[in-house]
Amino acid sequence: MKRYEATQTDVRFDGKRVYKTTQYPEIRPSDSDTVVISNEGDFLDSLAFKYYGDPTLWWVIALANGIGKAKMSVEPGLQLRIPSNINEILVRFHNLNQ
pLDDT, one tens digit per residue, over 73-89 is 999 999 999 999 999 99
Pairing state between β 17-19 and 34-37: unpaired
CA distance 33 to 18: 37
The amino acid that residue 22 corresponds to is T
- pLDDT category of residue 18 using cuts at 50, 70 and 90: confident
- How confident is the model at residue 6, as a pLDDT? 54
Which of 5, 32, 31 has its CA nearest to residue 19?
Answer: 5
CA distance 75 to 68: 13
Q: In whole numbers, what is the pLDDT of the chain averaged over residues?
A: 89
Helix, strand, coil content of the chain in percent (nearest 5): 30, 15, 55
pLDDT tens sequence across 22-40 = 899 999 999 999 999 999 9
The model's pTM: 0.81
